[in-house]
């Protein structure tokens, strides 16, 4: 059976054409699936009965299976979603409600292959890329669970429960480019979720060629996981820097701004005590990014078992932030949300059946991705 959640508008139209159906039928089904959250063809009342019968025989609308659903005292909600029914594989999706927005943080891979030294997700290994249905399915599932799906025939121009989506969960989104782009197109499609490009953010550790491809295909807001002001330090913290050093990364950021829906890049910076949090580091950071309109999202490190890094003191974090802000650069400190259900930054937990073979001797433990939940998403 073909899972229709795997199709964006273009590919769904092409698939319908193979069935001998006209393009408007694809748009109808797209609305029922995504805007109305329907998974039963029989409920698609404006679709011809003959087509509904044909779809029931050849296709399905299969969202992710919820293994666990947890809510925090502050309203944060976290779902553990099984992947293909594999016991060793699960991803997590987190919803963060705030006064003027609702942000959903979603994953793009089962595990991660980039091996950032401060990130426990990378230490869990890598299994595979998520399919388009598994990426957009996280938004589809969250809308249904939050009661946020629209009702046919009713004006849906009001406020959205989920107004922002950030691809900052498990995995490197740009390493799963085609499936991520298909999901992004659905997020933006008026027949699906109709989100603004300004309110959809992709986070990357710096895959330069893919950043250029994203700029040309579906430019959305961009967040770059920077974490160090020099190549020598970033080579240690973010190994992909050895392939795409800071000079190339900064040039790619400038190119991206040519098509970006925002006039700035967000730089994510995990503060590690005694490693990258000194006054000199802050000043080097300003020098590195001085030609790039940007905002900084500072993330005090959340320790996890087996890590050698420490969280800096609140005073050190505040002083680092002040150096940036005194240079008239916006710098926010990511606040903790959902800590009582392990949904805070650095606590996006899941399990991975590792296929990278580099962790054969390491026992499976909960995952803690320090780049997991983006709580500073700009309107």
370 contacts 299 by C-beta, under 8 angstroms: yes
Distance CA 344, CA 347 (A): 5
DSSP 32: I
Tell which residue, 266, 268, 145, has the closest CA to residue 199: 266
Distance CA 227, CA 221 (A): 19
Phi, psi values for residue 265, rounded to 5°? -105, 140
Return the biggest CA–CA distance within the chain: 69
The question of whether 159 is a catalytic residue gets the answer no
Instruction: Give the burial class of 101: count Cβ atoms within 10 A of its Cβ; 0-12 exposed, 13-18 middle, 19 or more buried.
Output: middle
Distance CA 297, CA 104 (A): 17
Instruction: Give the burial class of 339: count Cβ atoms within 10 A of its Cβ; 0-12 exposed, 13-18 middle, 19 or more buried.
Output: middle
149 contacts 193 by C-beta, under 8 angstroms: no
| Both structure tokens of 362 | 């390491």
The question of whether 119 is a catalytic residue gets the answer no
- 44-75 core/surface letters (b: 16 or more CB in 10 A; e: else): beebeeebbeebeeebebbbbeeeeebebebe
Catalytic member of 172, 294, 345, 376: 345
160: region left, alpha or beta (phi > 0 left; psi from -120 to 50 alpha): beta
Catalytic member of 92, 134, 172, 376: 92
Residue 236 three-state SS: helix
Active site residue ranges: 92, 345
């Amino acid at each position: 059976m073909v899972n229709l959640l795997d199709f964006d508008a273009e590919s769904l139209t092409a698939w319908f054409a193979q069935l001998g159906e006209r393009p408007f039928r694809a748009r109808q089904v797209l609305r029922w699936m995504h805007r109305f959250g329907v998974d039963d063809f029989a409920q698609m009342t404006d679709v011809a009965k003959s087509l509904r019968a044909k779809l029931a025989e050849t296709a399905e609308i299969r969202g992710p299976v919820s293994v666990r659903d947890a809510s925090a005292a502050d309203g944060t909600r976290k779902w553990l979603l099984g992947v293909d029914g594999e016991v060793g594989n699960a991803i997590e999706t987190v919803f963060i409600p705030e006064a003027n927005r609702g942000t959903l943080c979603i994953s793009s891979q089962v595990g991660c292959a980039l091996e950032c030294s401060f990130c426990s997700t990378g230490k869990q290994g890598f299994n595979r890329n998520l399919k388009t249905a598994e990426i957009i399915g996280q938004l589809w599932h969250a809308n249904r669970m939050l009661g946020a799906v629209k009702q046919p025939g009713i004006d849906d121009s009001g406020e959205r429960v989920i107004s922002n989506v950030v691809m900052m969960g498990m995995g490197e989104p740009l390493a799963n480019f085609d499936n991520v782009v298909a999901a992004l197109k659905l997020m933006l499609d008026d027949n699906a979720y109709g989100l603004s490009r300004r309110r959809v953010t992709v986070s990357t550790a710096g895959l330069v060629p893919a950043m250029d491809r994203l700029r040309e295909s579906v430019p959305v807001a961009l967040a770059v996981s920077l974490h160090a002001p020099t190549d020598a330090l970033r080579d240690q913290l973010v190994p992909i820097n050895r392939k795409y050093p800071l000079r190339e990364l900064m040039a790619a950021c400038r190119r991206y701004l040519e098509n970006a829906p925002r006039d700035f890049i967000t730089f994510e910076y995990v503060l590690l005590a005694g490693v990258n949090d000194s006054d000199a580091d802050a000043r080097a950071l300003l020098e590195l990014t001085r030609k790039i309109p940007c905002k900084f999202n500072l993330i005090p490190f959340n320790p996890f078992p087996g890590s050698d890094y420490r969280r800096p003191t609140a005073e050190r974090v505040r002083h680092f932030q002040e150096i940036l802000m005194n240079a008239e650069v916006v710098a926010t400190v990511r606040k903790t949300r959902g800590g009582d259900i392990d949904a805070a930054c650095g606590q996006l937990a899941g399990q991975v059946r590792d296929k990278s073979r580099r962790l054969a001797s390491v026992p499976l433990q909960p995952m803690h991705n320090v780049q997991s939940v983006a709580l500073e998403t700009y309107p």
